[in-house]
Structure 1
Amino acid sequence: MIQWIKKLLGLVRPERITKEKIEELPADKLCRKFIDGELASDTECEAFGEIMCAVELDAEVNNGGFNQYYYNSGGERAERARSTFIRLGENRVADVVKRANEQYAACRDELHSVWDGTMKGFARSYKKKYFDVFDSEYYALMKNEKQLYTLIGTYIKQHPQEFLTEKTE
């Protein structure tokens, strides 16, 4: 509990990501520590932003489907999320995201007219069932968050040079 409070107050510095850490941690734990900021490199990691696009999409879709994802994000990072799934080797998920993105583009104006900023408007948009098939496909492919964390952690293990700085190699 004390460690969590210190972290919240910014009194705990993240540990540097090293080859040793990448090798020793299980893939899902490596990912979790990386995205939680417990492991950090000396410089801004370009891959981090890409990975977070997929993590955000996954969290939103698992919480309320693609309808909620587009409502909350406007789809701004949806293409980057799709590219990240490709980068992680999950082409089937990338295809679901691609088709959901295309559906969103096709019905964006209608959705925005229903999404009037109220909970009632948001709830009404689910009745259109624009994304139900994509939600079902996504859930069938991505059974839980540990699966995504394992994909990301495995990617980190396979491409450590993207996460390490010259000083840590």
Structure 2
Amino acid sequence: MIQWIKKLLGLTRPERITKELIERLPAAKLCRKFIDGELASNMEIEIFDDIMCAVELHAEVFNGGFNQYYYNSGGERAERAGNMFAELGANRIADVVKRADGYYTDCRDELCSVWDGTIKGFSDSYKKFSFDAFDSEYYALVKNEKQLYTLIGTYIKQYPQKFLTGGTE
């Protein structure tokens, strides 16, 4: 409980990412600590941002489907998310994301006109533009958050040099 309070108040320091730590932690926990900022890492590095593109897409899709993802993000980072899934070795997920992004690109102007800033407009967009097939495929491939975190943590374990802090220990 004390650690949680210290973290909440910003009184804790992130732990350095070392080879030993990468090897010791289970993949899902390693990822969670990494994206939660519990590990000292350069948040400005491109790989961190690419990983966050995939995490953000996953969170939005799991909350309200691809329709919600595009509504909230404008799809600005969808291509990077798809590329990150491919880099993680999740080619089928990357394919779903890329196809959903293609569908969004094809109907973006009309879809954006339906999204008029009202709840009704947002609700109508689900009826007029069906991302259901993409949602179903995505949900079949990624069953939960832990599965995504395991993918990312496994990637960190495969390429520790991209994530180590304080040199290559």
TM interval, shorter chain, is over 0.9
Give structure 1 regions of 4+ aligned residues with deviation exceeding 6 angstroms. Answer: none
> CA deviation digits over 1:89-122, x for unaligned, max 9?
0000000001000000011111111111111211
One-letter code aligned to 1:60: E
Structure 1 regions of 5+ residues with no counterpart? none
Q: Within the alignment, does 1:145 sit opposite 2:150 as a pair?
A: no
CA contact (8 A) 1:60 1:69 kept: yes
Find the residue that maps to 1:127 and give its secondary structure.
helix
Partner of 2:93: 93
Q: Within the alignment, does 1:25 sit opposite 2:38 as a pair?
A: no
Q: Tell me how far apart the structure 1 counterparts of residues 56 and 43 of structure 2 sit (CA, whole Å).
A: 22
Partner of 1:51: 51
One-letter code aligned to 2:38: E
Aligned length: 169
Q: Tell me how far apart the structure 2 counterparts of residues 141 and 96 of structure 1 sit (CA, whole Å).
A: 9
How big is the shift at 1:41?
Answer: 2.5
Q: Tell me how far apart the structure 1 counterparts of residues 150 and 97 of structure 2 sit (CA, whole Å).
A: 19
Q: Within the alignment, does 1:63 sit opposite 2:63 as a pair?
A: yes
Change (3 A) 1:32 1:129: same
Percent identity over paired residues: 79
Partner of 1:130: 130
Normalised TM-score (structure 1): 0.95
Q: Within the alignment, does 1:116 sit opposite 2:116 as a pair?
A: yes
CA contact (8 A) 1:17 1:168 kept: no
> CA deviation digits over 1:40-75, x for unaligned, max 9?
236743211100000000000000000000000000
Q: Within the alignment, does 1:4 sit opposite 2:18 as a pair?
A: no
Structure 2 regions of 5+ residues with no counterpart? none
Partner of 2:102: 102
